[in-house]
Structure 1
C-alpha cells in the first residue's frame, strides 16, 4: 500500500518519529489504528442511537428529561440510584 503525502507532512511525521524513537512506518500505522478505533466507536454510538430511536418509535416507551435529570442528580450526589422506568 502506498500513501501519497506532501513534503511538509512527511517531514512532520519524520520529526515526530525521531523524537519518539519510532519509524515513520510505525507512526503511520499507529495513526491509522487510532483513527479506525475512533471511527468504529463513533459508528457504534451512531448505531445505538438509531436503534434507540427505532425502539422508541415502535413502543413509545421513554423517560422524560426531568426524570433523567433527577436520576443524574442522584448519581452525581453519590447515590446508587436506579435509572427511571420507561413509560408511554
Structure 2
C-alpha cells in the first residue's frame, strides 16, 4: 500500500474533521472514500465518452441511425402493456 501526502488548507481540514466526527469515521476513511468515488465516477464518464465517440464514428461511416421520435416512442413504451421492440437503424 502506498502512502500519499495531500495538502489541505485549514478550512478544509476542519470541515473534514467535523464531517468525520459526525459520521463516526476517520478523516482518512473519508478521504479514501471520496477518492474512490471520484475515480469510479470519472472512469464511468470516460467510458461513456469513449462509447459515444465510437457511436459517432460508426454513424459517420454508415449513416445508420434512429430518429429522436423513434427513440422517444420506444423509451416511452417501456413498462407498458404495449412495450415496443427497439427501433431498427436506417439511413
* Fold-level similarity (TM above 0.5): yes
Number of residue pairs aligned between Structure 1 and Structure 2: 88
Find out whether 1:32 has 2:27 as its counterpart: no
Correspondence for 2:48? 45
Q: Distance in 2 between matches of 1:19 and 1:78?
A: 48
Q: Distance in 1 between matches of 2:43 and 2:64?
A: 28
Q: Which of residues 64, 70, 76 is equivalent to 1:73?
A: 76
Unaligned segments of structure 2, at least 5 residues: none
Unaligned segments of structure 1, at least 5 residues: none
Question: What TM-score comes out, normalization by structure 1 length?
Answer: 0.91
Q: Distance in 1 between matches of 2:51 and 2:40?
A: 16
Aligned alpha-carbon RMSD (Å): 1.3
Deviation per residue, 1:4-38 (Å, 9 max, x gap): 11001000000111111111111100000010011
Q: Distance in 2 between matches of 1:10 and 1:79?
A: 55
Deviation per residue, 1:32-83 (Å, 9 max, x gap): 0010011111111111100100110111110111211221222264543211
Find out whether 1:54 has 2:68 as its counterpart: no
Question: What TM-score comes out, normalization by structure 2 length?
Answer: 0.88
